[in-house]
Amino acid sequence: MSTSAPPVVSTTVGESGQPVVFLHGLFGQGRNFTQVAKALAPDFRSLLVDLPNHGRSGWTEDVDYAGTADLVAEHLRGGFAADGPVHVVGHSMGGKVAMLLALRHPDLVDRLVVADIAPASGGSLGEFAHLLDSLAAIDLSTLTRRGEADERLAERVHDARVRGFLLQNLRADGDGFRWQANLDLLRRDLPTIGGFPDVGDATFDHPVLWVAGDRSDYVRPEHGPAMRRLFPRTTLVTIKGAGHWVHSEQPEAFVSALRTFLGAADR
């Protein structure tokens, strides 16, 4: 996909219940949350978003969290959130977009869930740089089958589950293959992806659930003050046995936390 695609593409799961929007992380796609969305039905109707430069959505000239949040807001206003505010769940990079969405467009967001990321710069960028470099090292012009990409990637990425996640971005295109995600841009702008923009004195005063994996270092005690300054009504929950990909590593605990928080009566 390229700049000719719609800026934001999404898929709806479920036909009834409270509306909840899912925003994925780097290398991901909306469909990464399919099983979580199905587990929440019929009490929740979910919108699985492909963020710009990922999945079926269009490509941009650069990575800009505020601009991305504005594109998502426009997409929501034109459809899923046309009748009022929705819940928003964002993981990693998508968590930063979700935070910007709530801070810049508070009328659109009822409750916010931020999964294993903080409103801060840093984190394990070296891991993501390695993964981007590993994908870039695959010469797509010489690929004859998908399995070949996995074989080549295995030389640098030893975890089969991680390879499977990354290779969701590989698409057959005519007689060859192409990357669906804008890997060149993501590689170039990785420092921006790892950062967090200055939001001034903006705050979001609705309930916020901050979910961390106990085996991840993306959410640390020193991040607490910044989170509470931007989101005064934040509750932190740590999920045991989960690393950075909380929703895929401990899906039942993640779904349970979402149900409890999003279904609560207090406002």
**Within this chain, do residues 78 and 40 fall inside the same structural domain, yes or no?**
yes
Helix, coil or strand: residue 50: strand
Domain finish residue from 188, 215, 231: 188
**Within this chain, do residues 118 and 211 fall inside the same structural domain, yes or no?**
yes
**Within this chain, do residues 166 and 241 fall inside the same structural domain, yes or no?**
no
**Within this chain, do residues 133 and 107 fall inside the same structural domain, yes or no?**
no
Q: What is the mean pLDDT of residues 113-129?
A: 86
What is the reported pLDDT for 192?
A: 94
What is the reported pLDDT for 221?
A: 93
Q: How many domains is the chain built from? A: 2
Q: What is the mean pLDDT of residues 80-101?
A: 97
Q: What is the per-residue pLDDT across 163-208, written as a single tens digit (0 to 9) for each?
A: 998 999 999 988 899 999 999 999 999 999 999 999 999 999 999 9
Name the pLDDT band for 127 (thresholds 50, 70, 90).
confident
CA 240 to CA 250: how far, in whole Å? Answer: 8
What is the reported pLDDT for 1?
A: 39
Instruction: Say which CATH number the domain at 72 has.
Output: 3.40.50.1820
What is the reported pLDDT for 125?
A: 73
pLDDT at 2 > cutoff 60? no
**Within this chain, do residues 209 and 173 fall inside the same structural domain, yes or no?**
no
**Within this chain, do residues 57 and 140 fall inside the same structural domain, yes or no?**
no
Q: Provide the residue range defining the domain that includes 27.
A: 9-123+195-262
**Within this chain, do residues 73 and 57 fall inside the same structural domain, yes or no?**
yes
**Dihedral sign from CA coordinates of 231, 235, 241, 246:** negative
Cβ density class 244-260: b for 16+ within 10 Å, e for less:
bbbbbbbeebbbebbee
**Within this chain, do residues 62 and 135 fall inside the same structural domain, yes or no?**
no
Strands (E), 9-144: 9-13, 18-23, 44-50, 86-91, 109-115
pLDDT at 135 > cutoff 90? yes
pLDDT above 90 covers a percentage of the chain that reads: 87
Q: How far is CA 135 from CA 28, 37, 181, in A?
A: 14, 29, 11
**Within this chain, do residues 152 and 23 fall inside the same structural domain, yes or no?**
no
Does residue 219 fall inside a structural domain? yes
CB–CB of 95/115 below 8 Å?
A: yes
Helix, coil or strand: residue 170: strand
Q: Supply the residues annotated as catalytic.
A: 92, 184, 244
Does residue 2 fall inside a structural domain? no
Q: What is the mean pLDDT of residues 24-44?
A: 95
CB–CB of 165/134 below 8 Å?
A: no
Give the DSSP per-residue string, 233-254. Answer: TEEEEEETT--S-HHHHSHHHH
**Within this chain, do residues 87 and 137 fall inside the same structural domain, yes or no?**
no
